Amino acid sequence: MTGILSASSPVVTFDSVMQKLQSTARAPVIDTGRDEVQLSQVHAMNSLKDIFKSATLGKQADIYVTDCFLIAADSLKSKM
């Protein structure tokens, strides 16, 4: 994800990616009862973390810090 954003595509904007990742990270987890669970929320949160750690993208992400901290705090209450 950080590679795609670092390429500065005119089609995919930084803001739209951040909004989508935050939306995915906030989505409720649905327990299907199966042993194999693929959590897109975890992948979204890992992508957000990598964006904040990136030397080229970190400054752009500054305006999203508060929202992402809230997502991280809310995820601590997850039963998964």
Whether residue 42 is contained in a domain is answered as yes
Whether residue 80 is contained in a domain is answered as no
Rg (the chain; Cα; Å): 14
pLDDT band at 6 (very low <50, low <70, confident <90, very high): confident
Percentage of the chain beyond pLDDT 70 is: 89
Whether residue 43 is contained in a domain is answered as yes
Structural domains in the chain (count):
1
Query: What's the pTM value of the predicted model, to 2 decimals?
Result: 0.83
Whether residue 33 is contained in a domain is answered as no
Place of tokens 């979204």: 44
Q: Is the pLDDT of residue 57 over 80?
A: yes
Instruction: Identify the three-state secondary structure at position 30.
Output: coil
Whether residue 10 is contained in a domain is answered as yes
Domain limits at 53?
2-27+38-75
- Residue 51 or residue 10, greater confidence: 51
- Whether 19 and 44 have beta carbons less than 8 Å apart is answered as no
Place of tokens 């752009």: 60
Q: Is the dihedral of CA 17, 31, 68, 40 positive or negative?
A: negative
Percentage of the chain beyond pLDDT 90 is: 51
Q: Is the pLDDT of residue 4 over 70?
A: yes
